[in-house]
């Protein structure tokens, strides 16, 4: 019975991340095909993360308060299906803007809550979180590839209908998930706000965001970059497939390599690799050259994501695990998504995509440097605290 509940969670991650990849990878191409400008596409891709900022902390708080992630997942998936259906009737920039906001109130939380449930499940079973989470990456990879061919045959205008089909499977599986209670300690809004004002978190988030902004910018404009270089929609699928396949490998093997260093050390390494990756992307002149660079994606994101979640776990009380996880994702995916989409849209209008990749490469390097400084002072503070405790 326990094994079957684990398999159902893995299947849920597969389909919910499959739905997410269709939105992230192909909606910018759809908007471009509809004749929208780079700035308009940037705004549309930014409104989603803005909704994420509002929604994810709320869903995380409600999960902790009512001691259930499963029910929140079911609600968010139902919201995805309803908003996706209404989206299909939109045919104007304003309509797209409104429905992208509504859709993202639910879809990013459905993936983030799945990750939080995976973290709790892994802890309760004393197994690697990565071995569960990798199924989300596998779903992302397979769907990014197959969706490219499907949309090339039927037309990019059917992007949202394809997402609805995949999300339906995720919604059905959501009803079969099993909650993992962590603690019976009460959760209040005031205590949640105190947790969010932890000084270490307030310093860590801006440093990590310098790295994550670059990732989110690439998410929004990779498909457009491939098309503008002359590549077909199917190449978008291949690029995501290669990138996320390596991501799945990183998650699957995390139990072997993760405990060797401090979590922040992995994020620093991620920032350095991101910087190198973006600088190389700025030099590309033909679309197929993107594919070898996508092999780095899994390494950079895997290091950043697992390192970030584990560091936040160290700082957040056990009764606020879901809140802490979604707060981390809100800052590094939501806020960074807004900045990356708006700035990226402006950059490609005013300059070029090559210039955009140079700038985000510099941002990744700055993030690695700032995290190195943060790690040094954070460890020094911990040593001083330990010394004072011993003396006392």
Please compute the mean of the pLDDT values over residues 249-274 and round it to a whole number.
83
Please report which confidence band the pLDDT of residue 391 belongs to, taking 50, 70 and 90 as the band edges: very low
* Nearest CA-CA partner of 233 in 165, 155, 292: 155
pLDDT tens across 194-236, in order? 555 667 778 888 898 899 999 888 887 887 888 888 887 678 7
Tell me the CATH number of domain 2-385, given options 1.10.760.10, 3.40.50.150, 3.90.1720.10, 1.20.1250.20: 1.20.1250.20
pTM: 0.74
Share of the chain above pLDDT 70, in %: 89
**pLDDT at residue 367 greater than cutoff 70:** yes
The string of pLDDT tens digits covering residues 335-348 is 787 788 788 878 87
Whether pLDDT at 386 is above 50 = no
Mean per-residue pLDDT, 9-21? 92
Cα distances from 34 to residues 27, 29, 313, in angstroms, run 10, 9, 43
**Domain boundaries, given as residue ranges, for the chain:** 2-385
Q: How confident is the model at residue 380 (pLDDT cuts 50, 70, 90)?
A: low
Question: Which residues have C-beta within 8 Å of that of residue 187, sequence separation ≥ 6?
Answer: 61, 64, 65, 319, 320, 323
Is the CB of residue 223 less than 8 Å from the CB of residue 29?
yes
């Amino acid at each position: 019975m326990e094994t079957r509940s684990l398999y159902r969670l893995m299947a849920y991650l597969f389909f919910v991340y499959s739905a997410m990849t269709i939105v992230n990878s192909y909606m910018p191409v759809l908007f471009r095909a509809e004749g929208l400008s780079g700035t308009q596409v940037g705004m549309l891709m930014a409104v989603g993360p803005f909704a994420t900022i509002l929604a994810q902390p709320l869903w995380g708080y409600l999960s902790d308060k009512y001691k259930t992630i499963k029910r929140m997942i079911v609600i968010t998936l139902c919201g995805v299906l309803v908003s996706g259906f209404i989206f299909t009737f939109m045919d104007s920039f304003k309509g797209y803007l409104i429905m992208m906001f509504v859709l993202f109130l639910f879809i990013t939380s459905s993936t983030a809550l799945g990750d939080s449930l995976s973290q709790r499940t892994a802890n309760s079973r004393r197994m690697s979180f990565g071995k569960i989470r990798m199924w989300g990456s596998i779903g992302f990879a397979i769907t990014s590839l197959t969706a490219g061919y499907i949309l090339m045959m039927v037309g990019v205008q059917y992007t949202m209908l394809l997402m609805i089909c995949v999300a339906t499977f995720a919604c059905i599986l959501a009803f079969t998930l099993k909650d993992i209670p962590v603690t019976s300690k009460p959760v209040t809004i005031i205590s949640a706000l105190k947790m969010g004002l932890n000084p270490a978190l307030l310093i860590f988030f801006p440093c990590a965001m310098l790295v994550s902004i670059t990732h989110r910018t690439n998410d929004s404009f990779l498909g457009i970059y491939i098309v503008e270089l002359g590549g077909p929609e199917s190449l978008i699928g291949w690029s995501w497939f290669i990138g996320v396949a390596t991501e799945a490998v990183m998650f699957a093997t995390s139990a072997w390599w993760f405990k060797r260093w401090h979590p922040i050390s992995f994020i620093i390494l991620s920032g350095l690799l991101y910087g190198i990756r973006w600088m190389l992307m700025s030099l590309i002149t033909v679309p197929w050259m993107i594919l070898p660079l996508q092999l780095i994606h899994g390494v950079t994101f895997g290091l950043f994501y697992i390192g970030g979640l584990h560091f936040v776990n160290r700082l957040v009380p056990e009764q606020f695990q879901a809140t802490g996880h979604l707060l981390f994702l809100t800052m590094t995916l939501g806020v960074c998504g807004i900045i990356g989409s708006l700035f990226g849209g402006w950059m490609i209008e005013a300059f070029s995509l090559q210039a955009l990749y140079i700038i985000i490469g510099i941002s990744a390097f700055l993030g690695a440097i700032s995290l190195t400084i943060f790690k040094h002072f954070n460890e020094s503070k911990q040593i001083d605290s330990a010394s004072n405790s011993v003396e006392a």
